[in-house]
Amino acid sequence: MVLESDCAIFNGELLHRVCSTFALARDFEWSSRLFFLEMKEEDEEGVGTMLSIDHKSPAFVNEEILFTATVEKIERNELICTIEAKAGDRTIATGKTGQKMLKKEKLNALFRQNL
């Protein structure tokens, strides 16, 4: 369900009463992460590698959006998913996400290295 908090608001100003790109991005990432959560081992964690969103139609406040994630490929330790967001029969957006599966220890070392 598209909430008011999903709309684009910059500097306290509501731009449009439609689902924003950043709300779509959040939900695209989550829908593909659900695959990762089933696949990962206890000592692994994911980190996003890419995200693309192509807007097709607006999703208005109070409309329900259905997100469908499909595994496109798994290459070495990277999961690539295609995503489709629909409100009823309307396609709201399409896109892709990427997540790499890394050992938690390696990921934490990378984060510390870049402080």
pLDDT tens-digit series, residues 2-22: 999 999 999 999 999 999 999
Q: State yes or no: pLDDT of 75 exceeds 90.
A: yes
Is the Cβ–Cβ distance between 46 and 101 less than 8 Å?
yes
Q: What is the mean pLDDT of residues 33-61?
A: 95
Question: Mean pLDDT across the stretch 34-61?
Answer: 95
pLDDT of 115: 74
* pLDDT confidence of residue 22: 95
- Would you say residue 100 has pLDDT above 90? yes
Whose CA is closest to 71, among 24, 26, 33?
33
Compute the mean pLDDT over every residue in the chain, rounded to the nearest whole number. 95
What is the percent of the chain where pLDDT is above 90?
94
- The tens digit of pLDDT for each residue in 56-66 reads 999 999 999 99
The Cα angle at residue 103 between residues 79 and 41, in degrees rounded to 5: 70
DSSP state of 4: G
pLDDT class for 114, splitting at 50, 70, 90? Answer: confident
